[in-house]
Structure 1
Amino acid sequence: MMKEIYITDYNCVTPLGFDVESNWNALLEGKSGVALHKIIDNHEDFYVSKIDSKKLEIEFKRFFDFAQNDNFTRLEKMFLLSLKPLVERHPISDETAFILSTTKGNISLLKNQTILPEGVFLSRLAQKIADFFGFKTKPIVVSNACVSGVMAIAVAKNMIQAGKYKDAFVVAGDEISEFVISGFNSFQAIGTEICKPYDKNRDGINIGEASAAVYITSKPNQNEKFRFKILGDSAINDANHISGPSRTGDGLFASIKNAMTEAQVSAEQIDFISAHGTATIYNDEMEAIAFNRMELQHVPLNSLKAYYGHCLGASGLLESIISMESSLKNTLIPSKNFKETGTSQPLNIIKENQPAEIKYILKTASGFGGCNAAIVLEKC
């Protein structure tokens, strides 16, 4: 029998707050972190979800009172803030894994540089964070486009089950950068307003930034406030296109099917789907097809992108955390800005805050390069 693996602690740093409680309260009130910001000089403003830099500095100096504050980039400070409470509550041993999820890391360091800075390498970024907290094992980097956050949970689960580690800290993060905004803008994929996942009038994505962290273990202690068992996981590449999703949803369908098979959970048992929902025409359509192929069209579903924007490597982990908080609070959060179905296949989009018993959660993600991932969580 395989070891049972649990998520027993988490934290996040986002434009809506610097801990889970403040984020949850903001979501209950329907607040969005998405607003117009100047990202590229001599260019129109973009709707993005951006952490206030002054607040970030104040919070960082409050928790990290030492002279070397300026030795960390803005993204690194986000990582440190999200991880600190978890590290304080759970001891690090010689058998503790440290896993960092990101798509672009310190990409902003490249601006106006002629020589490649050391900090731009993801391995160096991960080692710097690991060294700060005193991790004894070599850091693991998960960087697979926008499924990175979900895959990082799966990597931790599988490595602990294989006996490589006893427990793991997973941290995920990305920041708003001119590089990323320019890239998505070149695809004409950025929305002209706060995004509308699955809605008939959706017109594109909002980019966001955040960091999030979870603690994963096979041996939860009796003092844990909660436990979520990671029942199943899968990641499948549909090999369809460098940036376009499969029109038939093959990769996402296979990922969900594999994860649910491992979890031994049927479509009727899934209580809630935390979907990717980028509000681009093709992504939302692909997801609707995949969910219907799995006979999950009846399951309450939301996307958090209109609250947080698309936080790239952080999105899957952040949205998993909010899903678990929904389960603990027995409350479904609406998919903000959804009014009229804009997909060819039906979905049960959540339209308002509503009470619900949530035991089994399906979390999905999809990204550039044809990558797709899914995990199934169970509240214990």
Structure 2
Amino acid sequence: MDKVYLSYNTIVSAYGLDSASAISQIKQGVSSLKLTDDKNILPNPFYTSRLEDDIIEKAFAQLGPSEKMTQLEQLMAISLSKTIKASDIELNERVGLIISTTKGNIDTLESGNSFSKERAYLSVLGKKLTYFFGFQNDALVLSNACVSGVLAIAIAKRFVEQGKYDHVFVVGGDLVTQFILSGFNAFQALSDEICRPYCKTRTGINIGEVAASAFVTKDVQRLSEEAVEILGEASRNDANHISGPSRTGEGLHRSIQAALAQADLTPDAIDYVSGHGTATLFNDEMEAIAFNRSGLQDTPLNSLKGYFGHTLGASGLLETIIGMHSLHQNILFSNLGFQELGVSEPLNIIQKTTPTTLKTFLKTASGFGGCNTAAIFKKVN
């Protein structure tokens, strides 16, 4: 079976309009989360990471669009255009597109929005991006809560392995909207500080927005410097609760086990873990239990939520891309803001950005409805 790789990538975030800008700021320990007071979205001030409207509009205008696009579509198009250009391939019938999002164009349902309500349908989002870039196959839209980004990479890998496509582009994104913030606020899960995953003094979650894209291929001639091989991936659902994770970490543990088996690796072969780490009480505790059950309690672990906040359907893809660069640069990025372990099981939290030799990493994600996904990546160059 052909090896499958994750290659060219673009992160569009408050840090800048490319992956290098984000990596540079993360290495310096700079968070993109800012205190925001926007009563059109939430009555009280909140920490979030958002792009300025004029920056989005200017960057999108350079693409020469022929029709009006929503803000999310613009963000995804900006990111995807850069990744397509870097890959330098023709978008023929052997090229697929996967879109990862939790809520898509949910903001078109809000009062005062100029787009039709039908624009909120995920299928319409898929059609708009397919048409904009000229893909010859319909886009697959994955909306499986917060595991969507990692799952999109996994599905792209399977498509290439099975011969459905030679190459697949994956793009993920979600916006900071009134609908999303009000939902997490109703759970009393929003933090009034920058989030601190796995930390005893954490006070909750922050929500951020990005668009991220990557190129999945079997063509070894089209690999970026930071390209990784996708060794194994798996998804399991513990069906515990609509919003609460399994108290035993069952689904995540089984995902990790299955991904390790597919990769033909043991836990001690994993150099570091990029966790989900939302900085909420039940999620962090569940992950700690799952990692211990999986024999990963001593493996260096971080969550990147302190840099971007939780970017929902984009988070898994975004954090995988950062993991790729972490391997390439042989550096472990700190779990920003961590002070003292706040879970019942031991974890090896990365407290300081540290140079070290790296070869493999595990990316995990968990989400509403009990969904869990794990993927293992290996450095190529």
CA distance, structure 2, for counterparts of residue 368 and residue 359 of structure 1: 31
1:108 corresponding residue in structure 2:
107
Deviation at 1:159, TM superposition (A): 1.3
CA distance, structure 1, for counterparts of residue 76 and residue 272 of structure 2: 28
Which deviates more, 222-231 or 269-278? 222-231
Deviation at 1:320, TM superposition (A): 0.2
The secondary structure found in structure 2 opposite 1:279 is coil
- Contact kept, 8 Å, 1:260 with 1:376, in 2: the verdict is yes
- Contact kept, 8 Å, 2:30 with 2:307, in 1: the verdict is yes
- Contact kept, 8 Å, 1:33 with 1:308, in 2: the verdict is yes
Which of 66, 75, 87 is residue 72 of structure 2 equivalent to? 75
Deviations 1:143-202 (A, max 9, x none): 000000000000001111111111100000001000000000001011121001000011
In the TM superposition, 1:19-168 aligns within 5 A as 19-41=18-40, 43-61=43-61, 63-65=62-64, 68=66, 71-90=68-87, 91=89, 92-112=91-111, 117-168=117-168
Deviations 1:314-344 (A, max 9, x none): 0000000000001111111100010100011
- Contact kept, 8 Å, 1:39 with 1:178, in 2: the verdict is no
The secondary structure found in structure 1 opposite 2:301 is strand
- Contact kept, 8 Å, 1:359 with 1:378, in 2: the verdict is yes
Mind listing any 5+ residue stretches in structure 1 that lack a counterpart? Answer: none
In the TM superposition, 1:131-210 aligns within 5 A as 131-210=131-210
CA distance, structure 1, for counterparts of residue 47 and residue 126 of structure 2: 29
Change (3 A) 1:209 1:265: same
CA distance, structure 1, for counterparts of residue 139 and residue 160 of structure 2: 15
Deviation at 1:4, TM superposition (A): 1.1
Aligned length: 376
The secondary structure found in structure 2 opposite 1:369 is helix
In the TM superposition, 1:208-357 aligns within 5 A as 208-221=208-221, 224-357=224-357
Deviations 1:113-171 (A, max 9, x none): 79962211111111111111110011101100000000000000111111111110000
The secondary structure found in structure 2 opposite 1:138 is coil
CA distance, structure 2, for counterparts of residue 31 and residue 223 of structure 1: 29
Deviations 1:251-307 (A, max 9, x none): 000001000110011111100110000000010000000000011011111001011
Q: Look up the equivalent residue of 1:112 and give its one-letter code.
A: S
Q: Look up the equivalent residue of 2:84 and give its one-letter code.
A: V
- Contact kept, 8 Å, 1:39 with 1:177, in 2: the verdict is no
Deviation at 1:222, TM superposition (A): 6.0
Deviation at 1:38, TM superposition (A): 3.0
Deviation at 1:213, TM superposition (A): 0.4
Q: Look up the equivalent residue of 1:294 and give its one-letter code.
A: S
The secondary structure found in structure 1 opposite 2:20 is helix
Change (3 A) 1:5 1:222: closer
The secondary structure found in structure 2 opposite 1:8 is strand
Q: Look up the equivalent residue of 2:375 and give its one-letter code.
A: I
Deviation at 1:3, TM superposition (A): 2.2
CA distance, structure 1, for counterparts of residue 161 and residue 39 of structure 2: 45
CA distance, structure 2, for counterparts of residue 88 and residue 11 of structure 1: 11
CA distance, structure 2, for counterparts of residue 48 and residue 208 of structure 1: 5
- Contact kept, 8 Å, 1:34 with 1:306, in 2: the verdict is yes
CA distance, structure 2, for counterparts of residue 109 and residue 39 of structure 1: 18
1:378 corresponding residue in structure 2:
378
- Contact kept, 8 Å, 1:8 with 1:220, in 2: the verdict is no
Mind listing any 5+ residue stretches in structure 2 that lack a counterpart? Answer: none
CA distance, structure 2, for counterparts of residue 250 and residue 32 of structure 1: 32
Q: Look up the equivalent residue of 1:256 and give its one-letter code.
A: I
Normalising to structure 1: TM-score of the pair? Answer: 0.96
Q: Look up the equivalent residue of 2:310 and give its one-letter code.
A: H
Normalising to structure 2: TM-score of the pair? Answer: 0.96
- Contact kept, 8 Å, 1:24 with 1:322, in 2: the verdict is yes
Which deviates more, 357-366 or 44-53? 44-53
Change (3 A) 1:275 1:223: closer
Change (3 A) 1:358 1:223: closer
- Contact kept, 8 Å, 1:12 with 1:211, in 2: the verdict is yes
CA distance, structure 1, for counterparts of residue 284 and residue 16 of structure 2: 27
Deviations 1:85-109 (A, max 9, x none): 1211331221111000000000000
CA distance, structure 2, for counterparts of residue 341 and residue 200 of structure 1: 5
